[in-house]
Structure formats: C-alpha cells, structure tokens
Structure 1
Amino acid sequence: MLAILLLILVWVVLVASFSAQIGALPILVQALLYVTLGIVWITPLKPLLRWMETGRWRAPQR
C-alpha cells in the first residue's frame, strides 16, 4: 500500500511541477492533457495491484 501511495505522490508532484507550462496552453489542450495524465498514472499500478491480489507480478499464462 505504501508503494501505491508513493507512486501517486511522485506522479502528483511531477504533474504539478509542469502546471505553469500546462497553464499556458489553450483550455481544450489543458483538459485533454489533464485527462490523459489522470488515466496514465494507473498503468504502472496494474502489476502492483495484480501482485497484491494474486502474489504474482505477471498475468497467468493461458
């Protein structure tokens, strides 16, 4: 659970550090960028969540 919180904290700090540059963009580009960044952060969490549920890092082979 601490790894998840740490990942979220790092992601928030990273995105917030670019807020001045993002704020200079047109509003629709900002919205698209923030929506994309809001979805992308979950990608590295997939293996961690899988490991927490199953004890394996990778999905089972078929």
Structure 2
Amino acid sequence: MPRSQRRLIASIVLIVFLGLWVWGAATIGSHLATAPKWAALIFFVVAGIGWAVPLKPVFNWMNSGPED
C-alpha cells in the first residue's frame, strides 16, 4: 500500500480516536468535580499525555514501507 494511502487511513483513525479520547476524558473529568484537586490534576495530566501511547503503532505503520 502506498504511503499516501496509509497516511489517509491513519489520519482518519487519528481523528476518530482523538474525538473519542476527548469525549471520554471530559466525561470522566466532569465526575471528578467532587474529587480532591490533586486527583483531578493527576487524571488530566495522564489524559493529556496518554493519547499518544495507543497511537504510536499507527504512527509507525503510517511512516513505514516504500515511498509513493
């Protein structure tokens, strides 16, 4: 599969995944209103950085293989 097609597919996966990730983080974060501030801080730091871990294989696949 040409790299341009892999990038298109990976871009679609990225947009869908990030939309779901943000929705999930916001939903869980709204339930943390009564939690201690330190717990909310830890959650949002993990949620803000954690999205990259599941997408690393997608980025690697997108940039692998022969050029167009």
TM-score (norm 2): 0.71
Larger proportion of helix: 2
Structure 1 residue ranges without an equivalent (≥5): 56-62
Q: Secondary structure at the match of 1:54?
A: coil
- TM-score using structure 1 length: 0.77
| C-alpha deviation, 1:6, in angstroms | 0.6
Whose RCO is larger (CA < 8 A, sep 6+)?
A: 2
| Identity of matched residues, % | 27
Gaps spanning 5+ residues in structure 2: where? 1-10
Aligned residue pair count: 55
CA RMSD of aligned residues (A): 1.2
Which structure has the greater CA radius of gyration?
2
